[in-house]
Structure 1
Amino acid sequence: MNTDIHRLLDEAFAGVEMTPEAQDLKEEVRANLVARVEELETSGRPSSDAARQAIAELGDVSELLGEQTDAAPARDSYAAMQLRHRVRPKAGFVVRAVVWSLVFVVGMTVAVLGATGALPLPLGAIIGLVGFASNGLALLVGDSLSQETTTNHPMPANRAGGYFLATLLGTFGLGFGVIVVLGAMPLWGIVFAALGVIAAIILFAFLFASQTNRHKAWVRQAQHEASHVGNRFEDEPETAARFGIYTAVIWLVTFGVIVALVFTVGWWWAPLAFVGGFAAMMLLLARMLFAPAKS
C-alpha cells in the first residue's frame, strides 16, 4: 500500500482549520487520491512518483474549500487550469519522436525515389523501405498515445498497440498503392494496398467505437461547465428550425445545379457542385451553431 499519498495529503492540508466540513472533504479527497495512485501505478509509475503526481493534480486545497484570496479570481480560466495541471513531455519521448519521424520521412522518401527510377533499387528493397517507413509512423502514433498529457491520462499499452497496428497497416497499404501508381509494381499489387487500407479502416473503426474517456477530472469539470455555452441550437429552437430550412434549400439548389451541369457541360463538373453545396452547409453550420461568447 502506498503510504506517501497520506503524508502528502496531510502536508497539503497543513494550516487548514479542520472543521467538520474540511475533515469530510479531506477524507473524500483521500479516497480519490488513493484510486488515482493505484491507476498510475498500474500504468507503470513508481509509487513515489504516482503519489506526487496525484497530489499535483489535486491543486490548491483552499480552492476546494472555497477559500479564495482577494488576489485570486473566483474561478480559474481554462488556460489557467491548463497551466496549473501542465504535464511536461519526457525527454526520452521527445528523442524517440524525432527518431520515429526521421525513420518515416527518410524511408518513404527513398522508397518513392526508388519507385520513380531516380534510385536504382530492386522491388524488394522498395517494399522493405515502405515497411520501414510505416513502422516509423506507427511507432510515433503508438508512443504518442501512450504518453500522459496535460488533459488526458495515458492510453493503456494494449490500446496504443492497436493504434500502432492500424497505422502500420494503413500506411503500408497506401505505400503499396503509391508503388503501383508509380509503375514499379504490377497492377495486381493494388490488392495488397486495398487489404492493408481496409484492415486499417476496420481496426480504426473498432478502436474509435470502443474508446473510453481519458480526460482528467479537471477537464471533465471544465467541459461540463461549458457544455451549454454558445450552443444556439439548444438555447434557440427557432434557430435550429431556420438551419433545417436553409440546409434543405442549399441541397435542393445543389442537386438542381448538378442536374443542369450533367445535361449541359458534362457529368465531370457535377462533383464541383456537390463540393460547393457541402462547403456552404458547413459555413452555415459554423455561423449558426456557435453564438458569440456572452460577457
Structure 2
Amino acid sequence: MTENTDIHRLLDEAFRGVEMTPDAQDLKEEVRTSLIARTAELEADGRTPADAARTAVAELGDVRELLDEGTDAAPSAGLSGYAALQQKHRVRPKPGFVVRVVVWSAVAVIGITLGILSAVGVLPIIIWGQVALFGFASTAIGLLVGDSLSQETTTNHPMPSGRAGAYALATFLGAYGIGFGALVAFGTMPVWGIVFAALGVITSIILFAFLGATQTNRHKAWTRRALADEPANRFEREPETAARFGIYSAAIWIVTFCVIAVLVFTVGWWWAPVAFAAGFALMMLVLARMLFAPDKKS
C-alpha cells in the first residue's frame, strides 16, 4: 500500500502557526506516526485515502492542547494527574450504544439462563430449541463485543467496523462452541456435538490470535504520553509471540477435545470437565510462560 501523502499536508496545516521548538517537532513526528497507522486502518475499512486522512486528523484535535499537555508535568505525577487527563478528554457513551448494550446483555442472559434450565430438564424445550437459545445468546455477546470496540472511548480511537466485526465473529464462535460443549456435558446433545464445540472454540482462538497479532495502536496521543513510563505488554511489543500463543492454544484445545471425545466414548461424559479443566490450565501456563518470559533483547 502506498503512503497516504494527504497526511503530511494536513499535519503541516494543523501545526501552522505553532513555534517549532524541539518538543513541538518531537510531538509532530510522534503524531505523524500515529496518523499513518490510523489512516491505514480507515483505508482498510473502505475509506478513500483523502477521507481517511481528514478523519484521522480530525480525531487528533487541537495540536496546541497536545503541546500544553506535553509540557505539563502533572500527568506523570501520579494517579491524580492521569485521572485529571481522563476527565479532560472524557468521551461519553452514545445513548444509542447504551440502549444496544442493555438489549444485547438482556438477550444473552435470558438465552443462557433458559438454555441451561432446559438442558438440566427444568424447562421442556427440545434439543434444537436449546441450540437456538445458545445461538441467540452467542450472537448477542458477539454483537456486544463488536459494537463496543467500534465506539470511541476516552483513551482509544474507534476500531474500524471490519475489524470490530471480526472480533464479534470470533466471540460468537467461541461462545457458541462453549454452548455446544455445555449441552454435551449436560447429556442433552449426543456426543457428536463435541465436534461443533471444538470447531467453534478452536476457530475462535485462531481468529483472536490473528486479530491480536495484526492489531495496530488505537490509543489516543494523550494516553500514550501519559502511560509512556508503564511497562509494555509483551504481546504488543512482539506480535510474533502473540501469534505463537494462538497457535499453541489451538493445538492445546485440539488435543483437549480429542481427549474429551475418547473419554466420553470409553469411561463416560463425566470425565469431560476434567479434561477441559486440564486443557484450560495448560493454556494458562503457556500464557504465563510466554507473557512473562525474559525479553529477547535481555
- TM-score norm. by structure 2 comes to 0.58
Pair 1:174-2:184 in alignment? no
Is the contact made by 2:173 and 2:201 (CA closer than 8 Å) also made in structure 1?
yes
Q: 1:1-295 maps to which residues of 2 (within 5 A)?
A: 39=39, 54-55=60-61, 59=65, 62=68, 77-227=81-231
Distance of aligned partners of 1:107 and 1:58 in 2 relative to their CA distance in 1, 3 Å threshold: farther
Q: Distance in 2 between matches of 1:203 and 1:109?
A: 27
Q: Spell out, residue by residue over 1:168-198, the C-alpha distance to the aligned partner (whole angstroms, 9 max, x if none).
A: 1111111011111111111111111111111
Is the contact made by 1:9 and 1:55 (CA closer than 8 Å) also made in structure 2?
no
Distance of aligned partners of 1:185 and 1:54 in 2 relative to their CA distance in 1, 3 Å threshold: same
What RMSD over aligned residues (CA atoms) do the two structures have, in Å? 4.4
Q: Spell out, residue by residue over 1:11-37, the C-alpha distance to the aligned partner (whole angstroms, 9 max, x if none).
A: xx8xxxx86759x87x959x96xx59x
One-letter amino acid of the counterpart of residue 149, structure 1: T
One-letter amino acid of the counterpart of residue 114, structure 2: V
Q: Kindly report structure 1 stretches of 4+ aligned residues shifted beyond 3 Å.
A: 18-22, 38-45, 47-54, 60-64, 72-76, 225-228
Distance of aligned partners of 1:198 and 1:149 in 2 relative to their CA distance in 1, 3 Å threshold: same
For 1:264, the equivalent position in structure 2 comes to: none
Is the contact made by 2:157 and 2:220 (CA closer than 8 Å) also made in structure 1?
yes
Query: SS at 2:61's partner residue?
Result: helix
Q: Distance in 2 between matches of 1:127 and 1:115?
A: 10
Q: Distance in 1 between matches of 2:185 and 2:124?
A: 18
Identity of aligned residues (%): 47
Q: Distance in 2 between matches of 1:103 and 1:55?
A: 37
Q: Distance in 2 between matches of 1:202 and 1:187?
A: 24
User: Shift in Å at residue 55 of structure 1?
Assistant: 2.8
Higher-RCO chain (CA-CA 8 Å, sequence separation at least 6): 2
User: Shift in Å at residue 203 of structure 1?
Assistant: 0.9
Q: Spell out, residue by residue over 1:80-134, the C-alpha distance to the aligned partner (whole angstroms, 9 max, x if none).
A: 2111111111111111111110110001111111111111111111111111110
One-letter amino acid of the counterpart of residue 124, structure 2: P
Q: Spell out, residue by residue over 1:206-249, the C-alpha distance to the aligned partner (whole angstroms, 9 max, x if none).
A: 11111112111112112224459xxxxxxxxxxxxxxxxxxxxx
Q: Report how many residues are paired.
A: 221
User: Shift in Å at residue 9 of structure 1?
Assistant: 7.0
- TM-score norm. by structure 1 comes to 0.59
Q: Distance in 2 between matches of 1:56 and 1:150?
A: 16
Query: SS at 1:184's partner residue?
Result: coil
- What runs of 5+ residues in structure 1 fail to find an aligned partner? 229-267, 287-295
Q: Distance in 1 between matches of 2:84 and 2:153?
A: 16
Distance of aligned partners of 1:164 and 1:225 in 2 relative to their CA distance in 1, 3 Å threshold: same
Q: Distance in 1 between matches of 2:131 and 2:19?
A: 70
Query: SS at 2:166's partner residue?
Result: helix
Distance of aligned partners of 1:49 and 1:176 in 2 relative to their CA distance in 1, 3 Å threshold: same
Q: Distance in 2 between matches of 1:87 and 1:207?
A: 25
One-letter amino acid of the counterpart of residue 65, structure 2: G
